[in-house]
Amino acid sequence: MTEEITSEYDVLAIGCGPFNLGLAALASTVDGVHIVVLEEQPDLTWHRGMMFGNASMQVNFLADLVTLVAPSHPLSFLAYLHDMDRLYAFTVRENFFPLRKEYEDYLRWAAAKLPTVRFSHRVEEVHWDETVERFAVDVVRGDNTRLRMHASNLVLGVGTAPYIPAAIAHLPQDRLLHTSEYLYREADVVSAQKITIVGSGQSGAEVAVDLLSRSFNGETAVSWLTRTNSFAPLDYTKMVLEMTTPAYMNYFHSLSQDVRERLIAEQWQLYKGISTNTLEEIHELLYRRQLESGLEEAELRFGITVETSAINSSGKIVLTCRHRDTDQVFEHITDLVVAATGYRNRPPTFLDPIKELLLSDEKGRPVVRSDHSLKFTDGVVGRVFVSNAEIHSHGVSAPNLDIGAIRNATILNTITGREVYRLPKRSAFTTFEAPK
């Protein structure tokens, strides 16, 4: 193995999901910004385990990598459609929500056009080098070459990790799967006589559609249990969407932490709900089942907490559940559990060498400025920005794709010290602040 020292960068972005890919895209047309994006994986994939053939996005095509701040950018979704000779067909389709598979192809198309994106580069450690006032980043390339890169600014876009709650996490690996790996576990799904989805959200609902469709073969029983007080729709009404705008994000950041916590709990339907189309599809499948005979049961229950799980003497999974309205405890028997239990922020262990330099709130979370940069102790002049790790400081719109271009433009404006991208001055009709 050899070691090489690269030239310094203005920006080193870690992780190449849609957010950091969008940063690279916007930076590609800005003079004087030397950027590199490092991704551990050998290529770009996006939610492959849930890539159902007809699955569509929950945001429209304008929420691409660049359009909301740079509509004429050469890496827009419309430019991709034009390059693929599908622009006219997309127009005639009159559905402005791209297919999920199509969106991933767009991301791969954009990444291929950006020489600043480097795959098979794993970041091992980040240090603060006081002598040069830069971050020193230790990297291992796919061929095991060790690199040390220096950067004035870091942008963390390492994404989230599938979350399995403790109540079911100890189940045997072949009896439990997370929705993120659903399509990879076809053999386990096919062999189970009864499958139980635990949790809801869009992923749980899409699995429910798939399992209910399969249930017409008469061999598979399906159960769906969720803690929520209904199978609730994603609130996509226009005035409610004002709470996903940059204006509301700025307002949210100005609030005290206890108020933020309350609002996050109240606003879960803005990002954890189920699309209305998917709910209608589920109802249609349930309706059609009435016309068939000999089908295994299809059971849907909301307001259910799964408290423990075990394997009984017959080799079945036993879930101990609590009905939240009545506090009644009951047992639920199944063969396979599909955890639709969401994701949690992935702890960036490569930041451990500078962890003591980061300021935290009372819950141990990083303190995030309005420009999405982390607060450090005195003496660190470099900046670390975060993408989709700031719900606690910026609100529930932080994971939304439609905020990605706005956040990246904010980061680039901050780094350059000038307005390289004009941010919207008024993105909502609602006024969120109290009168002055």
End-to-end CA distance of the chain: 63
Q: Would you state the pLDDT for residue 345?
A: 87
Say yes or no to pLDDT of 20 above 70: yes
Average pLDDT for 241-266: 94
pLDDT for res 235 = 87
Of 31, 13, 45, the closest CA to residue 117 belongs to 13
Listed residue (195, 199, 196) closest to 232, CA to CA: 199
Read off the pLDDT of each residue in 319-335 and give the average, rounded to a whole number. 98
Q: What percent of the chain has pLDDT over 90?
A: 86
**pLDDT for the residue 58:** 87
Cβ atoms of 133 and 382 within 8 Å: the answer is: yes
Q: What pTM was estimated for this model as a whole?
A: 0.94
Domains of the chain: 7-159+346-416 (3.50.50.60), 163-233+272-339 (3.50.50.60)
The pLDDT of residue 1 is 44
Of 235, 38, 3, 33, nearest in space to 117 by CA:
38
Question: How many angstroms separate the Cα of 206 from the Cα of each of 143, 162, 210?
Answer: 39, 16, 6
Q: What is the pLDDT of residue 133?
A: 93
116 Cβ contact list (under 8 Å, min separation 6): 24, 27, 28, 35, 36, 37
Over the stretch 66-84, which tens digit does the pLDDT of each residue have?
A: 999 999 999 999 999 999 9
Pairing of strands 317-323, 304-311: antiparallel
Is the pLDDT at 321 greater than 90? The verdict is yes
* Distant-in-sequence, close-in-space partners of 166: CB < 8 Å, separation ≥ 6: none
Say if residue 342's pLDDT is above 60. Answer: yes
pLDDT of residue 5: 52
Q: In 290-433, which ranges are continuous DSSP H helix?
A: 391-394, 404-416
Whole-number pLDDT of residue 406: 97
Asked if 141 and 4 count as a contact pair (C-beta separation under 8 A), the reply is no
For residues 414 and 383, the answer to whether their CB atoms sit within 8 Å is yes
Q: 82 CB contacts (<8 Å, ≥6 apart)? A: none
**Per-position b or e across 34-63, b if 16+ CB within 10 A of its CB:** ebbbbbbeeebebeebbeeeebbbbbebeb
* Residue keyed to tokens 């599938």: 162
The tokens of 350 are what?
């490569």
Residues in CB range of 428: below 8 A, 6 or more apart = 242, 245, 247, 248
d(CA 113, CA 108): 9
Question: In angstroms, rounded to a whole number, what is the distance separating the alpha carbons of residues 101 and 140?
Answer: 30
> Over the range 340-371, which residues count as b (16 or more CB within 10 Å of their CB) and which as e?
bbbbebeebebbeebeebeeeeeeeebebeee
Largest CA distance in the chain: 76
pLDDT of 2 reads 46
Q: CB of 360 within 8 A of CB of 256?
A: no
Region 392-405 average pLDDT: 93
Torsion of CA 100, 104, 105, 109, to 10 degrees: 150
State the residue for tokens 């016309």.
291
For residue 262, give every residue at least 6 positions away whose Cβ sits within 8 Å of its Cβ, in sequence order, or none: none
